[in-house]
Every structure is written in structure tokens, then in C-alpha cells.
Amino acid sequence: MSGHTGFKGSWLTLWLLRLGARVHGFSLPPPTSPSLFEQLSLRKKVHHEPGDIRDPAAVLASIQKTDPDFVFHLAAQPLVRRSYDDPVETFSTNIMGTVHVLEALRHLKKKCAAVIVTSDKCYRNDEAGDPFSEGDPLGGRDPYSASKAACEMVAEAYRHSFLQTSRVVLASARAGNVIGGGDWAADRLIPDCVRALVGERSIRVRNPHAVRPWQHVLEPLCGYLSLARMLHCSEEGTPFAGAFNFGPSWNASQSVLEVVHRVLEFWPGKYEIHLEKDAPAEAHLLRLSIDKAEKHLGWRPVWDCEVSIRKTLEWYRANQEEPGLMREFSEGQIQAYEKSAAREEGPCEHDL
């Protein structure tokens, strides 16, 4: 796995360990302090290989040494606003990092299921409000979105140019805005809310009317695991070799301000609208169609927005009270999600 020290990568690593997988992680050091990777004590449980996805020789050596059955590529520069500050880093990490992973994978001689994680922001967004399907045009008006659209094009090019005769089966995953405990990144809504609430300050709301497909981090991770399993088990990976959206029900997207109100229902505080005059442009309306994942993977959302926010804030509350027990608490949330998925007859069981 690349990017196992990040927020989403740490949750996926914990889940894979719970499933009995041997995890080899290739990543830069944790991007934040505190970091979920350290809070979950994952360094002691995985084969942790420090490395930069922008180094093709290091990526190739790591994959050849590991000889993986499954690859989850999550390493990325994941922030829209940071992409404006450093577009070169964003393009080199997100695009060429993906090229390096795929270039290394195409030399594998064994069956391997690879899931390249991109973003729902890879679509050319006209902000008409219609949910995006996997066949819709790609594009991006900011460096981050453009880099993720390019990742999808790179994956498609490698799939058709090099992997048709390979035993590597490849899919890409486009997830909506994820929330969950242990996200400490800057310029993300829930972490910003938590930092303000802990410090007894007003939450500063930058884009109150922006609509996003919010979902708990365990939702798309369940999708990635289901996709990887189906890729590995099916003949040549079809119809699973391709792109898949993972998001909430299309009519469940909510505005930033609606999410803030739900946060304050659980954790009392106050907010203030803070419109920035020269703020970098970001999309205001984004929805996803998840019909393909439902049809081919049997995957569907389990926790609605209210439950997702509550589970997220319960994690941060627990971290305040007993920070040394967050691995056990996080494993408990994964178990709770699996039970919820089982009741919904979703893909909660994975055999990797």
C-alpha cells in the first residue's frame, strides 16, 4: 500500500490488519502531528518502508521486493487549497507518482489486484447539480482536481496499453468527501470544527453553501476492499477493471453549513461565516452516482450523514478522554460498521 501513513491510509491499514492481511506500506512520514498512524500504533504492526512516490526506482524496488497480491495506491497530495500554493508538488506527486506505481506493476508476473484511489473531483464540473457517473467527462479547474483527472487518464492508458496481457488487474476508485476520527489536516471542515470546539472558539465557515457528498471514511474503504476482492477473484478482472464511484446516496449530499449545524447538535459551540475575498476557487456543487458500485459490487452506503458525523465526533471526544486507547476505539468503530453493513446486506465480509 502507498500512503499508509495518511488519514485514509491509516484506517485502511487498521482494517486490513483486522482481516489478517500482511501489510507492506510505502510512504512519506505522517503528514500531520498528531497523526492517526501514530495514534493507532501502526508502525509496529506493518512492514513500514519510508519512501517517496516521486522516486521511480524506490517504487519499483519496493513492489518487486514485496511481490504483492493486492495494491492500494493512496499516496497523494490531497488538499485543494494546498495545490494552489504548490502546483508542482501536486502534479508531480499525484500524476507521476501514479505513473511510477503503474510502471512498476506492469512488470509483475503474478496475479495482482490494484486499486488506484483518485477523487470525485476528477470530473469536469459544470455545477449543474446532476450526479456524476463514471463515464462522464474528466477535467479540473484547480491543480488538485486536474491532477486527479490526469491520474484517471494515466490508469486508463496503462490498462489498455500494457495490462491487457498482464496478470495485473486495475481499477480506480473515486470517493466523495470523507470524514472520520483521526483526520488532523488543515483546511478540512471537521478537523477545523474540532480544533475550534476544543479551543472554545467560533468555527470559521469559509464556503457555507458548498454542497459535497459527505461520507464516513469507512464507507469508501469498504468499497475499495470489495473492489479489490472482486478484481482478484474474477476472470481477468472484468467487469471490475475500470472506474467506480463511492459516495452517499446522490440525494444525501449536504452543504457545509448543514454539516456544521449537525456538528453543533452533538458538540455545542458557535460558528461565524468567514468569506475570504481572494480565496482560491473551489467547486460549490458536487454529487456522485453510485449505481455502478451498487450493481457490480453490491456496495451501498451504510451510515447516513447524521450517523457519520456522530461517529466522527465520538472518536474525537474519546481521543480527548483516553488518547492511549484510540486503536481499540477505532477497531470498535470498524466492527460497528461491519455489523451495520451486515444488517443492510452490504459487502461487510472480505477475504483478502
Mean pLDDT score across all residues of the chain: 93
Cα–Cα distance measured from residue 100 to residue 122, given in angstroms and rounded to the nearest whole number: 20
**CA distances, 223 to each of 168, 171, 247, 341, 349 (Å):** 19, 12, 10, 12, 11
Instruction: List the domain boundaries for the chain.
Output: 7-341
Q: What's the CA angle centered on 240, arms 60 and 294, to 5 degrees?
A: 130
**Amino acid identity, position 149:** A
Q: How is 204-219 classified by DSSP, letter by letter? A: EES-TT-EE--EETHH
Percent of the chain past pLDDT 90, that is, above it, reads 82
CATH code, 7-341: 3.40.50.720
> What pLDDT sits at residue 345?
62
Cα–Cα distance measured from residue 132 to residue 135, given in angstroms and rounded to the nearest whole number: 8
> What pLDDT sits at residue 126?
87
What are residue 211's phi and psi, to 5 degrees?
A: -105, 130
Mean pLDDT of 175-186: 94
Cα–Cα distance measured from residue 82 to residue 77, given in angstroms and rounded to the nearest whole number: 8
pLDDT, one tens digit per residue, over 60-115 is 999 999 999 999 999 999 999 899 999 999 999 999 999 999 999 999 999 999 99
What are residue 142's phi and psi, to 5 degrees?
A: -120, 160
Q: At what angle do helices 305-321 and 256-266 cross, to 10 degrees?
A: 50
pTM: 0.95
